[in-house]
Structure 1
Amino acid sequence: MEKKNLVRVFVKGGILSPGDFLRILTTAKELGTEFIHLGSRQDILFPAKDRSQALLENIFKSINTEYEVNEFTHQNVVSSYVALDVMPNKKWLVPHVYHHILDSFNFRAKHRINLVDPSQSMVPLFTGNINFIASTTDNYWYLYLRLKQFDNLPIPYSKVIHGYDLAKAAKALNDLDMNDDSLSSQDIFSVVDQQELNTLNPEEELKYPAPAFPYYEGLNREPGGNYWLGLYWRNNKFTVNFLIALCKRCMETNVGKISLTPWKSLIIKGIEENYLLGWEKLMGRFGINLRHSSLELNWHLPVLSEEALELKNYLVRALDQQDISTSGLTFTIKPNDDIYLFTSVAIEINPAEGEGSNTYNILYAKSFNPNSAEYLTYVKNVTKNVLPALLMELSVMYFDQIEDQPKSTPKKEVAPPVSVSESYQCKHCLTIYDAQYGDEAADIAPGTSFDSLPENYICPTCESKKGEFVKL
């Protein structure tokens, strides 16, 4: 099946509720499919028949979700929300910040847009054409362009932009034909300059995180005490019946969100410990394997490419026989140019001419860090049978270049103690904000003074603005 024969569901930011996911799954089942695919843009894909257009229109309108059928003209907005509570993150980048920004993207994107925290490594920084990267300043974001006419290298904007103005900047860029080769990066950024945006000079240049394999499978404990579950399918065919049961389990156990990763996997966060046995029973009933090796997990393949899947399976078997370590390395199989690399090693497929066999190129990211977006050629036009040996050579080369000297750890600044008597009360509903306890529902840590609350903080009861509170 080709991409043009699929329904593409744009899951904005990779975040959806179990109820909305359930409606998508039951619709897919009504249309006769037994499985869905996940895309690297955190979207959902499944086969559909042309006569289903009216049904699709009704379903996706009811859950306020964009979709496409038989075309490939728009893009999903990707975010690193999925990495919260799974990997390190900026302290200020909490769920409601993600939600507020994503909700402001109220247009259909024809360019790839990314919203990414550089502290984590699950969601790549620069797989978008328009990349917003979280800075060290609260709710200010770097802007990087990545376009083919600039050799696919990230080009930075001179300012950092406030989170609540990102949609305005993105909309201006989205309306522009950025693929016009006659436009320079200055021409494109001048469109951003013309918008009324809240900007600052960056405090420092963006530091690329060290490459790290993003573990994303199994039942794992969150910092807060609950658990997260990562699910991976070897062939990227996620069974509809199992996913329907999974959504119902989420709804029964107070799990409010399901997240999609660019690695074509699902993550369910906020699983309470007393419900673990029921989740394990669900996995066992459907025969779900949660113990794939890193050799299996650290690959990124294009959707629906049987050729890429077959090559991956061959290489995984061959490397497994050699007991080779690929810890820290990630791999892409690239059958065409319509894919943005975000792994440390890439294998390009050169189609055979006539009755000959395919040949392959191996590329690797500079310093094996895919965030550099700069790739070097290791070999060209080699045959399939020598690929495992060459990948083993690359893995040794990777470990040789790792610096093993310990880094000095800067002393942590200790925040001044907050007076336990500092309390503010909402004038409308009399709800009290006590600095001693913070506001757990809004991800405000205990010990946070009222003055330190973000300006967009609202009363958890009546949603009055921060300015409507009075000191007690």
Structure 2
Amino acid sequence: MRDYYHVKINLPGGIASPGFLKEVLLAAREANVHKVRFGARQQLLMTVHYEEMRFLEKNLKNASVRYEINTDRNPNIVSSYCGEDVFRTGQWLLANEYHSVLDCFDYQPALKVNISDSNQSFTPFFTGNLNFISSPEPHFWYLYVRPKQSNVVFRWRELVYTNEIGKVANAVETCLLEEEFVDEETLFASVNARIQYISQPATNEVELPSFSLPYYEGFNRYKSRTWLGLYRRDELFSVDFLLDVCALCMKTKIGEICITPWKSLIIKGIEDQYRGDWSSILGKHNINVRHAANELAWQTEDHHEEGSVLKKELIQYFDKHDTRTFGLCFGIQTRPKSEVFGSILIKKRPLLRIGQLAVFSLYDIYYTENFNPNSRRLVAFEKGLYRMQLAVQLEKLCRRFSNQRSKLGMHLAFTADEELQQQPEQGKVLHQCPDCFTVYDPQYGDEQQNIAPDTPFESLPESYCCGVCGSGKEEMVEVVLELS
């Protein structure tokens, strides 16, 4: 008999209402579950002792909550909604579009489905079997299909209308699972023999942005409000803390909590008057924010501690040696059939087995083509490494990436002419936030807060605050820019 069971609850699109999440957490607490985690596919995960399982199942069934135990027959639908509005997004893809897509799924997918904005790089594009990506045509989506147990991705020949995505996904899944998959043409013909749907020809490949992982933790300003990103070093969130989060969301009329593929949470729409309440919750539960960016760029397997322990070791080495990892993300795979997202992948493999037990293991390091984590092509860097050799070899690969980025002109610096044009004049007086060092330059104003260019600092409203961390106008200090 198992001592513990792994329970998975899907949160479609990585969206959870505070009321629903509260019901689940109360059921978990009654089953003596004190901590939960969120998975790479934006689902809720918990580990439950076998003696408590009957209580948890009873409570979940009473609350009409669907769940799976030790299986993943119905993978969660992943979406980029968690980054909508707070990170760069497309012109037409807004919150209502995501909800329209999710509402049209009237079945439980057996294949992995990804719903992605083509203008973001916060969530993966091709980790699903059916990958819908927004196109330049409003309300139409690319579909990229990756058959199960395959690493080949091909583009559907048609763009799919928003409200038809659920129907098309169901038909493609049925054909892939019930019929023998032969080729793209056969699959396309088979689906079109089953259903009719609104579409238009897909004449070009999707144009994806270069990868850049935005900083997704802490208090951050957007428009006239604040969003809060919550990351836990051990990937565990206490049930009591999350219940307090749900209660404050309901009190302040925040209708959604977003789960990210980085096993963290994003809470949008925090009004200024309630920011102190959120800080109080963090203090009450001793929740730290503003971890180093290189620590946030890792993905490990769900329900598996080994990857998390190795991640901690490697981050400590990077910190000690001040290793630059900007532009990269890392995945650790310790089990053969698991899937993680990353531009650099660390894969563990057994060297010697006795039955099902791996007696001795080695590690291989791969990187994706052009270090783009959305590429399905892996390039071997070093194979057959001992664990103690991993950190040094990873540092070498990070340096190779930085050198390659510089040589190919992929760095983000301006050209010399552009830089001269955009440099403020010497001796100019600006105002700087003392907490995050963001500068207010009257020449450019602050577009996000509707401050027009050429607005002097003294003319800013008293309610003006730092656009990054929210520090008040009165806290900003004068600085004189001097150019050498």
- Scaled by the length of structure 2, the TM-score of the pair is 0.79
In structure 1, what is the equivalent of residue 437 of structure 2? none
Q: Distance in 2 between matches of 1:353 and 1:106?
A: 47
Distance 1:386 1:277 in 2: 46
1:372 partnered with 2:357: no
- Residue 5 in 1 paired to residue 8 in 2? no
Q: CA deviation at 1:50?
A: 3.6
1:385 and 2:391 are equivalent in the alignment: no
2:397 maps to 1:398? no
In 1: Cα distance, 2:149 partner to 2:239 partner: 40
Equivalent residue of 2:345, what SS? strand
Q: Which residue of 1 aligns with 2:112?
A: 112
The 2-side partners of 1:19 and 1:200 are apart by 39
Contact 1:116 1:125 in 2 (8 A): yes
DSSP-derived class of the 1:372 partner = coil
Gaps of 5+ in 2: 419-484
Q: What is the one-letter code of the residue matched to 2:37?
A: H
Q: Does 1:193 align with 2:192?
A: yes
Q: Distance in 1 between matches of 2:214 and 2:114?
A: 18
The alignment status of 1:124 with 2:124, answered yes or no, reads yes
2:59 aligned residue (52, 55, 61): 55
Mapped to 2, the partners of 1:24 and 1:303 lie a distance apart of: 19
Is the 8 Å Cα contact of residues 7 and 68 (structure 1) preserved in structure 2?
A: yes
* Counterpart residue number, 2:335: 336
Change (3 A) 1:179 1:395: farther
Alignment of 1:15-414 (within 5 A): 15-48=15-48, 49-52=52-55, 53-59=57-63, 61=64, 65-147=65-147, 150=150, 152-178=151-177, 182-194=181-193, 195-202=195-202, 204-222=204-222, 224-353=223-352, 357-402=360-405, 403=409, 404=411
Distance 1:70 1:283, change over 3 A: same
Letter in 2 for 1:364: Y
Give how far 1:262 is off. Answer: 0.6
Q: Distance in 1 between matches of 2:179 and 2:126?
A: 20
CA shift at 1:31, angstroms? 1.0
Q: Which runs of 5+ in 1 are unaligned?
A: 410-472
Distance in 2 (alpha carbons) for counterparts of 1:3 and 1:293: 36
Q: Which amino acid aligns with 2:20?
A: D
Work out the CA distance in 2 between the residues paired with 1:188 and 1:397. Answer: 41
**Contact 2:115–2:133 (CA under 8 A) maintained in structure 1:** yes
Q: Per the alignment, in what secondary structure is the counterpart of residue 5 of structure 1?
A: strand
Is the Cα–Cα contact under 8 Å of residues 208 and 372 in structure 1 kept in the other structure?
no
Q: Find the aligned partners of 1:303 and 1:177 in 2 and give their Cα distance.
A: 26
Separation in 1, partners of 2:2, 2:236: 15
Show CA shifts across 1:411-430 (max 9, x none): xxxxxxxxxxxxxxxxxxxx
Measured after TM superposition, the shift of residue 5 of structure 1 is 1.6
Offset of 1:127 from its aligned partner?
0.9
Measure how far apart 1:319 and its partner are.
1.4
Q: Match of 2:472?
A: none
Q: Secondary structure at the match of 1:206?
A: coil
Distance 1:3 1:159 in 2: 49
Task: Give me the whole-angstrom Cα distance separating, in 2, the residues matched to 1:290 and 1:8.
Answer: 27
Matched with 1:451 is: none
Q: Given residue 235 of structure 2, which amino acid in structure 1 is its aligned partner?
A: N
Closer, same or farther: CA 97–43 of 1 in aligned 2, 3 Å: same
Aligned CA distance change for structure 1 residues 266 and 164 (closer, same or farther; 3 Å): same
Could you say what the CA RMSD is over the residues aligned between the two structures, in angstroms? 2.3
* Structure 1 position 2, deviation (Å): 8.7
Supply the AA of the counterpart residue of 1:324. T
Q: TM-score, normalized by length of structure 1?
A: 0.81
Q: Percent identity?
A: 34
Shift of 1:288: 0.4
Q: Aligned partners of 1:360, 1:310: CA distance in 2, in Å? A: 15
Q: Which amino acid aligns with 2:330?
A: F
8 A contact 2:75–2:111 mirrored in 1: yes
- Seen in structure 2, the aligned counterparts of structure 1 residues 356 and 227 have a Cα distance that, compared at 3 Å, is same
Letter in 2 for 1:55: N
- Provide the rounded CA distance (Å) in 2 between the counterparts of 1:54 and 1:360: 43
* Residue deviations 1:383-435 (CA, integer Å, cap 9, x gap): 111211111111111112222475999xxxxxxxxxxxxxxxxxxxxxxxxxx
Does the Cα contact within 8 Å between 1:4 and 1:70 map onto a contact in 2?
Answer: no
In structure 2, C-alpha distance between the alignment counterparts of 1:336 and 1:291, rounded to whole Å: 31
After superposition, the Cα gap between the structure-2 partners of 1:351 and 1:359, relative to the gap in structure 1 and judged at 3 Å, is same
When residues 309 and 180 of structure 1 are mapped into structure 2, their CA distance, relative to the original with a 3 A threshold, is farther
The amino acid across from 2:61 in the alignment is: E
Aligned residue type for 1:129: N
Give the aligned residue type for 1:19. Answer: G
| CA shift for structure 1 position 146 | 1.6
Structure-2 separation of matches of 1:2 and 1:14: 29
Distance in 1, matches of 2:397 and 2:15, equals 36
